[in-house]
Amino acid sequence: MNITRENIDALNAVVKVDIVKEDYNDKVEKILVDYKKTANIPGFRKGHVPMGMVKKQYGKAVLVDEVNKLLQDALNKYLTEEKIDVLGQPLPKQQDEINWDSDSFSFEFELGLAPEFSVDLNSKKAITHYNIVADDKMIDEQIERIQNQYGKITSETEVKKDSEITGTFKNEDKEIDNTVTITLDKFKGKATEKKFIGAKPGDVITLKTKGLYEDDHELMNALKIQHDDAHGLDIEVTFTINEVNSREAADLDQELFDKLFGKDVVKSASELKAKIKEDAEKQFVQQSDQKLLNDVTEHLVDNTKFDLPAEFLTKWMQVAGEKEMDEATAKEEYEKSEKSLRYQLIEGKLMQDNDLKVDFEDVKTNAKNMIKMQMAQFGQLNPSEKELDDIAARVLGNQDEVRRISEQVVSQKLLDLYKEKANIKAKEMSYDAFVKEVYGDKA
């Protein structure tokens, strides 16, 4: 067997594999001898079929199968030994009908080669890493929500200024039918509030959606509609009042603190504020880190320049899936996936250059930490190692879960790398300010 490579350019090559009779003959002969022992051909006893007849009936099929196996094994071994980094899979070149009566065969494969490039983490323009803090306003609002949530509810016969009103928004044309609990202070205009004051359970109030709330996101939640549908929505909806309640806020006492955090974990209003601040900012770290990861990823894709074998990859995508695509569809799919492919290559380069690896212990540790967090949510704060190992073993028995957790581990390793080596500037702000700066009106 002889394998040669011709580089067309930096991103494309053709590999030629020449196979001669000596490469496959012994294997083919052995298989045919085995067939001879078991062949069931009318007129001959089992095991006594002439070899000539066996070859005539099975020889070509066995030859084709063995040559294809040999070809794939040889090609994979060659790519590994030569350390050729390919994109997609080798594509067999079109050739005239193969003469399987010949003793030797030649096959050619097109290769799409991975580009050579470097990744510079130390960009000229610094990337912002937000330090999100829970300000007094947020903490006070959270305490107020807690007091209301655990407060005493009293049923009322009519709506007052501070009532909680449970009812259903409806509009048949837009298929709106959503039951919510609202308070009058959320509405934008005093005219809307006046419509509700004095209303009773069973009353139906007609409202205009335009200008109903100060923020369209409030409207989106109230009507349970899509984000884009809420902006500029100008229709009439009805609100049928189901219940009217008043709520007396719970006292900030030890009974409430124990309900929230367990006995004597929090012992005063000031400790409650500190605990709420701590818990909120832990959650903010996840959002801040995800934002940083997204921003660095975006920066690297936009600023790490290299070419791809686009023509080869488009051709490969035509035949790689379960169903073949036509050329136009494959081109469209390639264009959609190009950015993702670029980042996969950048990610691989960063992992290689910085000796970042993900092994099974990393995946197992991550899975156990995830399980501990989930168990803590249900009050199981101190699970044993055996318990965690047993649950992790069941989780990691699912390959989809292994893949998902592995991706999380990779993301965390890259995030740590970015924090260490990328040009990052810290910026402290409240959560509301973060949402406004990062998402604008799309939060």
The pLDDT of residue 49 is: 83
Q: If you write DSSP's letter for every residue of 157-169 in order, what string do you get?
A: SS--TT-EEEEEE
What's the token pair of residue 182?
């609202």
Walk along the chain (443 residues) and give the pLDDT tens digit of each residue: 999 999 999 999 999 999 999 999 999 999 999 888 887 777 787 777 888 888 888 899 999 999 999 999 999 999 999 999 999 999 999 887 889 989 999 999 999 999 999 999 988 889 999 999 999 999 999 999 899 889 899 999 999 998 999 999 999 999 999 999 999 998 988 899 999 999 999 999 999 999 999 888 899 999 999 988 888 899 999 999 999 999 888 999 999 999 888 889 999 999 999 999 999 999 899 999 999 999 999 999 999 999 999 999 999 999 888 888 999 999 999 999 999 999 999 999 999 999 999 999 999 999 999 998 888 777 677 889 999 999 999 999 999 999 999 999 999 999 999 999 999 999 999 999 998 898 875 44
* Strands of 297-433, DSSP E: 424-430
3-state secondary structure of 305: coil
400 CB-near residues (< 8 Å, 6+ apart):
none
* CATH annotation of 2-113: 3.30.70.1050
The fold for domain 152-248 equals Chitinase A; domain 3 (3.10.50)
CA distance 345 to 336: 16
Site of tokens 């002969």? 29
Are 2-113 and 152-248 in the same CATH fold? no
Query: Which pLDDT score is estimated for 181?
Result: 94
Tokens linked to 350: 């960063």
CB-based contacts of 403: which residues, under 8 Å, 6+ apart? none
Confidence at residue 208, expressed as pLDDT on a 0 to 100 scale: 94
Q: Which residues, other chains included, contact 395 with Cβ-Cβ below 8 Å and sequence gap of 6+?
A: 367, 371, 401, 405
CB 37 within 8 A of CB 30: no
Q: Do 49 and 101 meet the contact criterion of CB atoms below 8 Å apart?
A: no
Kindly tell me the burial class for residue 216, based on how many C-beta atoms sit within 10 Å of its own C-beta (0-12, 13-18, 19 or more): middle
Q: Among positive and negative, which fits the CA dihedral 345, 347, 350, 356? A: negative
Q: How far is CA 63 from CA 33, 40, 422, in A?
A: 13, 20, 56
Contact 306, 10 (CB under 8 A): no
pTM above 0.85, yes or no: no
What token pair was written down for 312?
């080869």
For the chain, domain boundaries? 2-113, 152-248, 267-306+354-442
Token couple for 334: 């390639």
